[in-house]
């Protein structure tokens, strides 16, 4: 009578799909870990989400921690890789480039999945130094290098004033991270609108707060 076979998993009887399992478990894990963090994440729930039993998880992962590492790693690479080529075109003014870069940053940290990832790593990062240093390399280090490149180019073109920011380009994207942190901490409780914040960031970044003599 009923044939729910098309839907991914319903109450259909167990199928044996060795190849598909790990990815499905990791996907379920990502969702669970995002929602609850490591400690409060529950393997039975993960199993249910993946449409399997708890035991099956242990056929593919040695422990909760191992699953967690796999999930984070998958998620990091996916999130990082997703909007990669947004700035391969090095045309336009430095102003345009920076604006585009920041829009990208905000999109990921405020609306996107990078926020959940940030939350997890902030919450649970000390248990996995390996992931943390990967994350550092993939985001902070890489971002800094890219930013420095843009700024250098700007200096060459006479658009950017040479200064200490060239050495510590973190400062430039800091407000985006701040907004993400604000969202994580205050959730719906205290809003901080994206638009005006972004405006203020861009404006201050380009011109500073001081009046030009």
Q: Interface residues with a copy of itself (CB under 8 A)? A: 37, 39-40, 94-95, 98, 119, 121-123, 125-126, 129, 132-133, 135-136, 140, 151, 154, 158-161, 163-165, 167-168, 170-172, 174-175, 177-179, 181-182, 184-187, 189-190, 192, 196-197, 199-201, 203-212
The answer to whether residue 213 forms part of the interface with DNA (CB under 7 A) is no
Confirm or reject binding of residue 43 to DNA (CB under 7 A). Answer: yes
Closest distance between DNA and the C-beta of residue 28, in Å?
A: 12
Nearer to DNA, 18 or 187 (CB): 18
Cα 135 to chain centroid distance, Å, stands at 9
Number of chain positions touching DNA (CB under 7 A): 23
- Distance between CA atoms of residues 12 and 3, nearest Å: 9
User: By CB under 7 A, is residue 23 in contact with DNA?
Assistant: no
Rule CB under 7 A: choose which of 18, 90, 187, 209 binds DNA: 18
Distance between CA 108 and CA 112 in Å, rounded?
A: 4
DSSP state of 212: P
Closest CA to 54 of 17, 29, 19: 29
187 CB contacts (<8 Å, ≥6 apart)?
none
Least Å distance, CB 35 to DNA, is: 13
Whether 121 contacts 177, CB under 8 Å? no
54 binds DNA (CB under 7 A): yes
Determine contact, residues 16/53, Cβ cutoff 8 Å: no
| Part in contact with DNA (CB under 7 A); list of ranges 41-49, 122-130, 157-165, 188-196 | 41-49
Nearer to DNA, 1 or 209 (CB): 1
Count of C-beta atoms within a 10 Å radius of residue 151: 23
Contact partner, 53, from a copy of itself, DNA, none, Cβ < 5-8 Å per class: DNA
Contact segment (CB under 7 A) with DNA among 55-63, 107-115, 153-161, 202-210 equals 55-63
Q: Is 147 exposed, middle or buried (0-12, 13-18, 19+ CB in 10 A)?
A: buried
Give me the least distance between CB of 208 and a copy of itself, in Å please. Answer: 4
| Using rule CB under 7 A, residue 12 touches DNA | no
Task: Look up residue 193 and give its two tokens.
Answer: 């609108």
* Residue (of 90, 120, 86) closest to 106 by Cα position: 86
């Amino acid at each position: 009578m009923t044939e729910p076979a098309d839907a991914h998993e319903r109450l259909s009887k167990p199928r044996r799909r060795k190849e598909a399992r790990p990815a499905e478990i990791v996907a379920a894990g990502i969702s669970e870990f995002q929602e609850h963090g490591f400690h409060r994440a529950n393997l039975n729930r993960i199993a249910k989400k993946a449409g399997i039993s708890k035991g099956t998880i242990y056929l593919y992962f040695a422990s909760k921690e191992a699953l967690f590492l796999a999930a984070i790693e998958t998620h990091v690479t996916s999130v990082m890789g997703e909007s990669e080529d947004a700035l391969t075109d090095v045309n336009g003014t430095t102003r345009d480039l920076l604006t585009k870069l920041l829009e990208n940053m905000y999109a990921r940290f405020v609306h996107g999945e990078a926020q959940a990832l940030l939350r997890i790593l902030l919450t649970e990062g000390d248990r996995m130094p390996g992931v943390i240093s990967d994350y550092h390399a993939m985001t902070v280090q890489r971002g800094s290098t890219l930013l420095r490149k843009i700024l250098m180019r700007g200096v060459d073109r006479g658009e950017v004033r040479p200064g200490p920011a060239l050495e510590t380009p973190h400062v430039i994207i800091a407000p985006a991270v701040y907004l993400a942190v604000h969202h994580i901490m205050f959730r719906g409780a205290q809003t901080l609108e994206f638009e005006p914040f972004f405006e203020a960031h861009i404006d201050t970044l380009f011109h500073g707060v001081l009046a030009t003599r």
